[in-house]
Amino acid sequence: MKALVIYHSQEHGNTELMAQAVADGLKESGLQVVTLNTNEDRLDCSTYPHFSCIAIGTPDYFSYLAGGLKMFLDDHYIEEQRGMEGMFNKPVALFYSHGGGGKVRQPLVSLFKRLGPIVGEPVESYLKPTEKVLERCRKLGRVLAAAAK
């Protein structure tokens, strides 16, 4: 089984550290993992059906998600409208970093719950993730792997 960890990280690498820890948790559970930073690359959403579960991470940008992840959601919708099978009902895990606000949690949950059931609690980090936060991310990866189909 293959997992997608898609995230945006641009300013300090905070969200990237979280993404790597989620990926570690998934790998520990035996899944293959594809990681993609939307600041560097754009997912070809026709590949989305190949994944068994999805982890999505963003920094808080103006109490909203980063533009690259909004683009992923838009691309996903367009692919779905074209009739692509396998675009829904895969378990989703969420994580985010912020600079003291963290209001991105609400739009993050409400936008991405359309893709599939949200598993575990979204993990948050205030700026650079501590070891405790990274352990929560690894655990989230393991929980996501257990829910993957």
Ligand X SMILES: Cc1cc2nc3c(=O)[nH]c(=O)nc-3n(C[C@H](O)[C@H](O)[C@H](O)COP(=O)(O)O)c2cc1C
For residue 67, give Cα distances in angstroms to 11, 98, 137: 14, 15, 23
Q: Does 98 bind ligand X (CB under 6 A)?
A: yes
For residue 111, give Cα distances in angstroms to 14, 65, 69, 96, 105: 22, 10, 10, 14, 10
CB of 141 to ligand X, least distance (A): 17
Q: Which residues 6+ apart lie within 8 Å of 80 measured at CB?
A: 87, 88
Restricted to residues 36-65, the positions that interact with ligand X (CB under 6 A) are: 59-63
CB 69, CB 45: distance < 8 Å: no
Q: Which residues 6+ apart lie within 8 Å of 86 measured at CB?
A: 48, 49
Q: Does 86 bind ligand X (CB under 6 A)?
A: no
Q: Does 13 bind ligand X (CB under 6 A)?
A: yes
Q: Does 35 bind ligand X (CB under 6 A)?
A: no
Q: Which stretch binds ligand X (CB under 6 A): 24-32, 48-56, 79-87, 95-103?
A: 95-103
Closer residue to ligand X in complex, CB, 86/101: 101
Q: Does 14 bind ligand X (CB under 6 A)?
A: yes
Q: Which stretch binds ligand X (CB under 6 A): 6-14, 45-53, 73-81, 133-141?
A: 6-14
Q: Which residues bind ligand X (CB under 6 A)?
A: 9-16, 59-63, 97-102, 127
